[in-house]
Structure 1
Amino acid sequence: MNATILALLGYIIWIMIMLLALASYRTVFNQLQKRTSLVFKADGSDVGALGQRLTRAHLNAVECFPFIGGIMLLALAINASAITNALAFIVLGARLAQSIIHISSISNAAVILRFVFFLVQFGICAYWAVMLLIKFL
C-alpha cells in the first residue's frame, strides 16, 4: 500500500475510533446519570463537557472528510497518488492532533493550535488540488 492509501485508511479508522468512544461515553453517561432516554442532542450539549467536545471532534472529522478524503480518493482513482503520497501522513497527523486537542481542551491556546492543525490540512489539500488540476490541464 502507498502512503495515500494508508493515510486514508488511518483517517477512516480515526473516525470510527471516535464514534466508538462517543457511543461508549454516552452509554456510561446514561448509566451513571440513570437516564431513561436514549435520545441525545446532536451537538453533545446534554452529555457534559467532555461528551460535547468528543461529539464536536467526531463531527469535525466527518465534516472535513469530503475535502481531505475526497482529494485522496481522487488521486488514487486517477492514478496520481504520487502527488499526495509525500504529505499524506502529515495530513493524517494534523487531523489526529486537531481532534485530540479538540477533545482535550477549549482554552484559547488550544483553539488556536487546533486551527493551525486545520490550516495545515487545508493548505496541503489546496496544494494537492492545484497539482492534480495542473497534471490534467
Structure 2
Amino acid sequence: MPSPSTIALTGFITWALVLLVLMEGLRSQLVLRGKVRANAFTPDNAGLSPFMQRLARAHANCIESLPVFGGLLIVGIATNRTALTDPLAYLLLGARIFQSLVHLASVSPAAVTVRFAAFALQMAIGLYWAFELVAST
C-alpha cells in the first residue's frame, strides 16, 4: 500500500490536473459557442468572467507550489524517510485543496484571509519537513 506521502503527492498533482481540465473545459465551451476565439486566451484569463480569472490563479498557485511541497515529499519518498512526512501529508493536501476551493468561491477580504491561513499552514508544514529532512541526514 502506498504511503500517505505518496498518496498526498499524487493527490496534489491530480488536484492541479483537475483545475487545469476544468479550466480547459470551460475555455473549450467558450470557443465552441463562439464567445471567444481559440487564440484569444491569456494565461490569467483576463477579459473572462471573475470565476475564470480565479480559476486561472488557483491553478497557477498549485503549479507554483508543487515543486516546493512536492519536492519535499519526493525527498521523503526517495530517501525512505516518509516517517517524517507521512503524519502531515494528508493535512498538506487538504490545505491545498481547501485553499483552491476558497479561491474559486470568493476574493472577499474574509475569503482571502481564510485562503492565506490555508497557505500559511502549508508553508509551516513545508518548513517543518525541510528542517526534519535536513536534520535527519
Which TM-score applies when normalising by structure 1? Answer: 0.95
Q: Percent identity?
A: 35
2: CA distance, partners of 1:33 / 1:101? 30
2: CA distance, partners of 1:82 / 1:37? 47
Q: CA deviation at 1:48?
A: 1.3
Q: CA deviation at 1:44?
A: 1.2
For the Cα contact (< 8 Å) 1:26–1:47, is it kept in 2? Answer: no
In the alignment, what sits opposite 1:35? Answer: 36
In the alignment, what sits opposite 2:81? Answer: 80
For the Cα contact (< 8 Å) 1:83–1:128, is it kept in 2? Answer: yes
Deviations 1:22-81 (A, max 9, x none): 001111223345333433111111221111000000000000011110000011111111
- Quick one: which amino acid aligns to residue 67 of structure 2? P
Structure 2 counterparts to residues 4-19 of structure 1, below 5 A = 4-19=5-20
Task: Number of aligned residue pairs: give it.
Answer: 136
- Quick one: which amino acid aligns to residue 39 of structure 1? A
- Quick one: which amino acid aligns to residue 71 of structure 1? L
Q: CA deviation at 1:83?
A: 0.1
In the alignment, what sits opposite 1:46? Answer: 47
In the alignment, what sits opposite 2:106? Answer: 105
Which TM-score applies when normalising by structure 2? Answer: 0.95
- Quick one: which amino acid aligns to residue 29 of structure 1? L
Structure 1: give runs of 5+ residues left out of the alignment.
none
Structure 2: give runs of 5+ residues left out of the alignment.
none
CA RMSD of the aligned region, Å? 1.1
In the alignment, what sits opposite 2:95? Answer: 94
In the alignment, what sits opposite 1:124? Answer: 125
- Quick one: which amino acid aligns to residue 66 of structure 1? P
